[in-house]
Structure 1
Amino acid sequence: MIETGTSLGIKELHTYWARECAPGSAAPLPQDVAKTLLAGLRLNVLETLRYLHHQRPSYAQFEAWVRECHGDELTEAALVRLRRALAGETVGAEVGNLDDVEGLDADELAHWHEHGYVILRDAISVEAAEAAEMAIYDFLGMSRDDPDSWYRQSLGHSIWVPLMRHPALVANRRSPRIHKAHAQLWGREDLWVTIDQGGFNPPERADWPFPGPHLHWDATLAEPHCLDLQGIVYLADVAEDQGAFSCVPGFHRKLKQWLKSVPEGANVHSHAGRTLTMKPIAARRGDMIIWHHLLPHGSSPNRAQRPRVVQYMSLRPTRFAYTEEWKS
């Protein structure tokens, strides 16, 4: 029997829970609604699914877990904005009026349209970036100035850092400049920021080869090809050879034709890895790289002297076009 109490007052959350914990009792939420729901509740997708599948909570327990995850961040004002948006009402930017916030200029917007990525300079302050950088070092039990500490087995052989709710990372998600740039690219301000993790890519050495991710897409390659954005904030300066984010510029405009050239029976990702060349994107502490999700992209081997330390972040509107079929 499905409980129907809704102390958070969001019926879509009950539907989401029922779909995962009471199979057959509810139809799935549309992808865009599910993403807005989780972002609005400050939930990470994998973290939430792991909790639901492993704990099999009642709905009341699930709501309690949602509140427990956030402390004071999930305010009534945030819940009201989410309820209104899910009900189809128009809501403004989470961070307030963006009219006087400096965003991307004409040249940067032209670069975006041509190349499918743009560097948002000074997306966050140098101080904010360094605070988040140090939070990642602390979380990993590493010292920024002790290279030997960078290879502790805190994470295993991975560049992902499962730190999501440190106050420094939370603050960066509320950067007005980040929200303004994404509003320009989406053409709307009702944006919801994902609760993503950090990244730590130390210099390669004999016992720590680069683990990837190599060239890939995080998007379906099925048509129609829709707009979605992905982003990474550099928390320290990153040179081209320092494990920089890499992509194939302009490929969002070539993907449809390129797919027709892939040999029949070939694995698309393997073929792309053999035939496409990624460009590493250098940027400064506090800069953010925003890219079209149809660009093949990945990290790169760090052959410099310092780690690449980053925070991942994406912003999407309440409702957006997407392709239901998954094709890789």
Structure 2
Amino acid sequence: MLAGLRINVLETLRYLHHQQPSYTQFEAWIWERNDGELKEGSLDRLRRALAGGAVGAEVGNLDGVEGLSEDDLVHWDEHGYVILRNAITPEAAELAETAIYDFLGMDRNDPESWYRQSLGHSIWVPLLRHRALAANRRAPRIHKAHAQLWGREDLWVTIDQGGFNPPERKDWPFPGPHLHWDATLAEPHCLELQGIVYLADVDEDQGAFSCVPGFHRTLTQWLKSVPEGVNVQDHARRTLTMKPIAAKRGDMVIWHHLLPHGSSPNRAQRPRVVQYMSLRPTRFSYTREWKS
């Protein structure tokens, strides 16, 4: 529902917790967040989906849209991640990259500006609604690829943030996130997808997204091998090795949420600039118990 209303989960929870609004105030806040961009057609699609009706892809008919190839799908099954090449155009990626630099008050050609307090000691950029980022969420190839992986087209794209990971230096060590899961490790293990769009070329040593390929296939057995009383996340960080995933401007890395993953230290000369994005169907199986 929040994705359909084009609002971010964390910002919504913060607003409800701190402001404790009336229904009317909450409705007005949602309209304010959307700044007139939430159209009646989108609301109608959301109403029909929530009522149990069938809805198609948000971006229209996907039949003629090129998505993942057969080789891509084989790679997905084996490794649990895939690179969607040219998910958005290089021009669209550069517009979003520029939006992030502007939001942070940084100059892409001035390395000293990359460490301003506007970023803080974090790689997260809380830019949610710039038009360039919104346009990327409607990219047909992104919707097609996720429809292939989910096996359905009634998908809803998250309103997620950007990322800026500058090269490490003495006064700015890599802050993480290190290897982790954003998923419950309790069974049953269900499908869910996560994604990151590279807004500029990213080499392996440039703070690339990293994961443990194929781990979604062996997670159940691996969990049985964790010594009793040992924290699973700590054990994973000590014993597992992540692979950095390099890709080009406009490419999107999509991964199974059961892959342990994280960012990596940037030891190159340029920042890693990205946009996070996930697509999920109206209803899907998930595990209610949270176990980390």
**TM-score if structure 2 supplies the norm length?**
1.00
1:227 aligns with 2:220: no
RMSD between superposed Cα atoms in Å: 0.4
**TM-score if structure 1 supplies the norm length?**
0.89
1:122 aligns with 2:78: no
- Decide which of 173, 194, 204 is 1:209's aligned counterpart: 173
State the match for 1:149 in structure 2: 113
Letter of the aligned partner of 1:93 in structure 2? Answer: A
1:322 aligns with 2:290: no
What percentage of aligned pairs have identical amino acids? Answer: 84
1:292 aligns with 2:292: no
In structure 1, distance between residues paired with 2:44 and 2:173: 47
In structure 2, distance between residues paired with 1:266 and 1:43: 38
Letter of the aligned partner of 2:150 in structure 1? Answer: W
Letter of the aligned partner of 2:53 in structure 1? Answer: E
Letter of the aligned partner of 1:67 in structure 2? Answer: W
Return structure 1 stretches of 4+ with deviation > 4 angstroms: none
State the match for 2:62 in structure 1: 98
State the match for 1:303 in structure 2: 267
Letter of the aligned partner of 2:216 in structure 1? Answer: H
In structure 1, distance between residues paired with 2:285 and 2:18: 32
Q: Please identify, of 212-221 and 64-73, the stretch whose mean Cα deviation from structure 2 is larger.
A: 64-73
Deviation at 1:72, TM superposition (A): 2.3
1:169 aligns with 2:133: yes
Structure 2 unaligned regions, length at least 5:
none
In structure 2, distance between residues paired with 1:212 and 1:250: 22
Deviation at 1:156, TM superposition (A): 1.3
- Report how many aligned residue pairs link the two structures: 292
Structure 1 unaligned regions, length at least 5:
1-36
In structure 2, distance between residues paired with 1:71 and 1:101: 30
In structure 2, distance between residues paired with 1:125 and 1:175: 9
In structure 2, distance between residues paired with 1:155 and 1:100: 41
Q: Please identify, of 72-81 and 115-124, the stretch whose mean Cα deviation from structure 2 is larger.
A: 72-81
In structure 2, distance between residues paired with 1:56 and 1:114: 46
1:45 aligns with 2:21: no
Deviation at 1:268, TM superposition (A): 0.3
State the match for 1:241 in structure 2: 205
In structure 2, distance between residues paired with 1:210 and 1:156: 12
State the match for 1:18 in structure 2: none
